Amino acid sequence: MIKKKKTILDTVFQEEKVFNNCGIYSKQYSINQKYGKGTLVSHSFDGLFIEYFHGSFNENYIFESKPLVNTLEVSILIQGGKIINCKHTGEDLVHEEQETFLSFSENLNGFVKYYKNIVVREVKIKLFYEFIKKHQLISLFSKFQEYSTDKTNCNSFIIPICNKTQNILTELLTDNRVGILKRLFLEAKVLELVSLQVEQQKKENNGTESLVKKLYTVKSIISSNLNEQYSIKKLSRKVLLNDTVLKKEFKRVFSSTISEFSFSVRMNKAKELLLHTTKPIYEISDIVGYKNPTHFSAAFKKNSSLTPKQYRNTYCEV
């Protein structure tokens, strides 16, 4: 059971930097060593708020989720897990890694729970009415309101991260633009991301529950066993689905083929290991399912236009 901690966010996170560049108001925080370790960086301008969090807590913590009027929120969990409590429905929603939580926050009220010693990597985006109006999205406002927690089942908010979303996340996390170029880049990527989420939400709601659960199982099998290359036939047997149905429905739900998803998750894991560990490239190659380091290097360069060594040297200092 989670132990509720009545802590103030500003106590847990220590402000380190605040700066303004071409109207982008940015803040950088670190977690107080008493509570855990990690960093939080946020950017805001013209009704758009973007936050990057990477860290873990020493204890189980619950943070109050305060409702913001007329705000569309997208929470993308790259790594880790958390619980979102929807106060209106009384539901506890499990938000796991490689999933997106999309909601219209006018009536979003409850708690967000983080678990002890679980590393979380998350991107949060909030679109305020000012941003929605600026980009002439008013006609979609009623559609956004469908994601209000008092009008639908909270479980329908959770959707998988598709291949296109993963590409956008990689661009956001490795971007080093500043000033007006940063503003234009962030606006463009957020609009693209929100469009993908709304479109994918529609597709997800059209699927059958039992089938979708099996597809999530396939996704989990691949993500949890990166050192093993699964054939379509073997995956089909594991979830008791016809080969053709598995391939077709996986593409429909996750917006990528099984092969594309498998390749993408392996490359993302390889990038994480290259940036955050000192493991040799041949070892990383084996971890992500390539027994031949040369084949791994060729696949990695196809994905990122850089060899593993070049990628490590380029981004390790960022």
CB atoms within 10 A of CB 19: 9
Distances in whole angstroms, Cα of residue 105 to Cα of each of 27, 89, 192, 312: 23, 14, 20, 39
pLDDT at residue 66, rounded to an integer: 67
86-123: pLDDT as tens digits: 666 666 677 888 888 877 765 456 688 888 888 999 99
Per the model's pLDDT, the better-predicted residue between 161 and 30 turns out to be 30
Question: What is the pTM for the complete model shown?
Answer: 0.62
In the predicted model, is pLDDT for residue 34 greater than 50? yes
Instruction: Name the amino acid, one letter, at 104.
Output: F
CB atoms inside a 10 Å sphere around CB 283: 11
Q: Report which of 161, 178, 134, 143 is spatially closest to residue 46, judged by C-alpha positions.
A: 134
* CA neighbor of 248 nearest in space, from 229, 232, 264: 232
Backbone angles phi, psi at 278, to 5 degrees: -110, 20
- Looking at residue 145, its pLDDT comes to 57
